[in-house]
Amino acid sequence: MCGIVGYIGKKEAWPILIKGLERLEYRGYDSAGVALMNPGEILVYKKKGKVSELSKFVKNKSDKNIGGTVGIAHTRWATHGEPSDVNAHPHLSMGGNIAVVHNGIIENYLSIKKVLIEKGYKFKSDTDTEVISNLIEDIVKSTKVSFDEAVRLALLEVVGAYAIAVLSKDDPETIVIAKKGSPVVIGIGDGEYFIASDATPIIEYTDKVIYLDDNEMAIIKNKKLVVKTIGNEIKNPYIQKLEMKIEELEKGGFPHFMLKEIYEQPRSIKDSMRGRESAKDGVVKLGGIESFQDKFFNAKRIIILACGTSWHAGLEAKYFFEEISKTPTIVEYASEFRYRNPVIYPNDLVIVISQSGETADTLAALNLVKEKGATVFGVCNVVGSSIPRATDAGVYTHAGPEIGVASTKAFTAQLTVLLLMCLLLVNKKETLNKKEIKKLLEELENIPEKVEKTLLCNEKVKKIAEKFKNIKNFIYLGRGYGFPLALEGALKVKEISYIHAEGYPAAEMKHGPIALVDENMPVVFIANRGKLYEKVVSNMMEVKARKGVVIAIITEGDENIKKIADFWIEIPETSDVLVPFVASIPLQLLAYHLASLRGCDIDKPRNLAKSVTVE
Ligand code: G6P
């Protein structure tokens, strides 16, 4: 949530900063701004709306001055104060000496603001961030300490979460960066440094990066970098090599990242399992959890914590873990779990799932279970992000960067890794015999091909979407493995097309949602031929009896449902466990086409952000 970018070196900062903001726009797009060092002043340009609005605004300015080689920039997801020019970052201190960009929330900003107002400071915005720039300015004025020391002293007063980058008019060759609870990465070039909320703006310039840890700050001054704690202890930063490829950050001919990412799934699923299993030998090998294997194998109960789509992947995993590995599993929203006083036993196995690895609630829930002494395993996509760094062990999903705000390929990659974790447990507990394990792995190996085949339904799904583009509500129903899919399908539609959609277990429909069914209500059924097929068909008949319009996701060649449903989309035959991998595809495509036909901003849906770093 909110993206920050910075540059200090010998190149012009503006093009690097604006391109960086475009890469980080998935983190928020309420407003954007930039601060550039200019001899004797800090120039600030900021604008409500997307990064393109800022670009246009600067381009059309007759007195623009964008030639500096040092600068910071920001794309905002509003928390304190509505989206507006004045609330956009960077925030200049009252005297114009200090400029700050910030991702996070300063919880005690009101009390700091009160003190500063008493000292005569005037505030222009409604944001929590503006207190940081004024506080730093005040410390510099009143104590005469250096700029970087003033930042450090200010941070000792601040309560909350932040990643900040700060400029000072009087130190034109310096940027100070600090982190607590929100991510920040520093790219190291040749006599130049790149700062960003994640590595995507950095990769085209350098693959050498440092991830700051919580309570650390970096001072880049006269081409030298010093990392220390907010407590003033010098640290030896660990320089990592980025594995990301620049093409992964481009749309590659697709109109939207979301569609590109939907189509990438045959490959991303393959990448998630590559080198981790062999159907021929019936084995699963997950290097990332080997050192904690005993904890993993001795689990009496699994607790899965996540938010959003990752939570839906967790709910599918509950069905895997209970049905195949016979391990009791509970799945919790991290945001609820963190404020309860949950009971954790020493032999509980906690798994946190997060695409971004930065979701604030998931991170907080993780820290809570760690405090309670549990071992925590992560299933994350973004390498080096906060969650995998805080877990004891884990498995990366390797789906590649996911840029569309609505999660697609990360979901199926999470399913892949979670199923592999489950099969690792199955192997150990022998809850399936070797032949059964080999068969399941064989089927999993065939999934990328089946997903490829399922993608051929795109045109048909688009035609269905045409019929429903003006509808106001949808119901999504499924049972067993189809139930989390119903939730996920409904979430996708809500997120990007702004149509209200409700996901429900198909049998629960008669306890409420059936009252909504009439000839104007489309009901999407996940109705593959599996263990609960007949039950789902009965639920479908109940909808038809009330004149509801049925759109069914069916197993290839199911002539029976074709006679009942108004519309159908076929998916290849596969075992129940693997249905979510293929059935996700038409659900994602339906949401995509509905949104596209309604003219919605698919990759940047209103009010949402991809990485939710505030609670
Ligand atoms: C946001 C995103 C969703 C995502 C959720 C959890 O709401 O828009 O796509 O599922 O956060 O994110 P995580 O990165 O923890 O999986």
Predicted confidence (pLDDT) per residue in 476-518, tens digit: 999 999 999 999 999 999 999 999 999 999 999 989 989 999 9
Q: What pLDDT score was predicted for residue 341? A: 87
**Segment 415-448, tens digit of pLDDT:** 999 999 999 999 999 999 999 999 999 999 999 9
Q: What pLDDT score was predicted for residue 1? A: 72
Residue 104 has pLDDT above 80, yes or no: yes
CA 612 to ligand 1 centroid distance, Å: 7
Contact 219, 226 (CB under 8 A): yes
CA 332 to ligand 1 centroid distance, Å: 15
Which residue did the predictor score with more confidence, 65 or 335?
A: 335
Q: How, if at all, do strands 329-333 and 301-306 pair?
A: parallel
Q: What pLDDT score was predicted for residue 354? A: 98
Residue 353 has pLDDT above 80, yes or no: yes
Atom of ligand 1 nearest to the CA of 309: 10
Q: What pLDDT score was predicted for residue 14? A: 97
This prediction's pTM: 0.85
Residue 63 binned pLDDT confidence (cut-offs 50, 70, 90): confident
Residue 179 has pLDDT above 90, yes or no: yes
231, burial (CB in 10 Å: exposed 0-12, middle 13-18, buried 19+): exposed
Contact 528, 570 (CB under 8 A): no
Most confident of 15-29, 54-68, 406-420: 406-420
362 lines ligand 1 (CB under 6 A): yes
Quick one: tokens of 34?
Answer: 């930039």
Q: Which helix (H) or strand (E) holds 116?
A: helix 109-118
Rounded Cα distance between 275 and 310, Å, is 23
Q: How, if at all, do strands 174-180 and 160-168 pair?
A: antiparallel
Residue 61 has pLDDT above 90, yes or no: no
- Output the CA angle 395-399-405, nearest 5 degrees: 115
Give the pLDDT mean for 190-217: 95
Q: In whole angstroms, how far apart are CA 497 and each of 245, 411, 484, 553?
A: 30, 19, 20, 20
Q: What pLDDT score was predicted for residue 62? A: 77
Rg (C-alpha) for the chain, rounded Å, is: 26
Q: What pLDDT score was predicted for residue 412? A: 98
Considering the chain, tell me which residue range(s) the CATH 3.40.50.10490 domain(s) occupy.
Answer: 254-432, 454-601
CA 440 to ligand 1 centroid distance, Å: 29
Residue 195 binned pLDDT confidence (cut-offs 50, 70, 90): very high
Arithmetic mean of pLDDT over the chain = 95
CA 345 to ligand 1 centroid distance, Å: 28
Q: Which CATH number fits domain 254-432: 3.40.1280.10, 3.20.20.370, 3.40.50.10490, 3.30.1390.10?
A: 3.40.50.10490
- Which residue minimizes the CA distance to atom 5 of ligand 1? 308
Name which of 401, 357, 419 is nearest 268 in CA terms: 401
Buried b (16+ CB within 10 A) or exposed e, 295-311: bbeebeebbbbbbbbbb
287, burial (CB in 10 Å: exposed 0-12, middle 13-18, buried 19+): exposed
Residue 615 has pLDDT above 90, yes or no: no
Atom of ligand 1 nearest to the CA of 410: 16
Q: What pLDDT score was predicted for residue 80? A: 86
**What spatial distance separates the first Cα and last Cα of the chain, rounded to whole Å?**
10
Rounded Cα distance between 110 and 133, Å, is 14
Contact 197, 185 (CB under 8 A): yes
Quick one: tokens of 404?
Answer: 């569309």
Considering the chain, tell me which residue range(s) the CATH 3.60.20.10 domain(s) occupy.
Answer: 3-247
588 lines ligand 1 (CB under 6 A): no
Q: What pLDDT score was predicted for residue 4? A: 97
Q: Which of 410-419, 489-498, 606-615 is least confident?
A: 606-615
The catalytic residue positions are 2, 610
Q: What pLDDT score was predicted for residue 252? A: 85
Which residue did the predictor score with more confidence, 250 or 454?
A: 454
405 lines ligand 1 (CB under 6 A): yes
Residue 380 binned pLDDT confidence (cut-offs 50, 70, 90): very high
Residue 611 has pLDDT above 80, yes or no: no
308 lines ligand 1 (CB under 6 A): yes
**Segment 108-138, tens digit of pLDDT:** 999 999 999 999 999 999 999 999 999 999 9
Query: 3-247, what's its fold?
Result: Glutamine Phosphoribosylpyrophosphate, subunit 1, domain 1 (3.60.20)
448 lines ligand 1 (CB under 6 A): no
Percent of the chain with pLDDT over 70: 100
CA 22 to ligand 1 centroid distance, Å: 19
Residue 28 binned pLDDT confidence (cut-offs 50, 70, 90): confident
How big, in percent rounded to 5, are the helix, strand and coil portions of the chain?
Answer: 40, 25, 35
Contact 92, 103 (CB under 8 A): no
Residue 614 has pLDDT above 80, yes or no: no
Q: What pLDDT score was predicted for residue 468? A: 97
| CATH number, domain 454-601 | 3.40.50.10490
359 lines ligand 1 (CB under 6 A): yes
**Segment 265-284, tens digit of pLDDT:** 999 999 999 999 999 999 99
Q: What pLDDT score was predicted for residue 377? A: 97
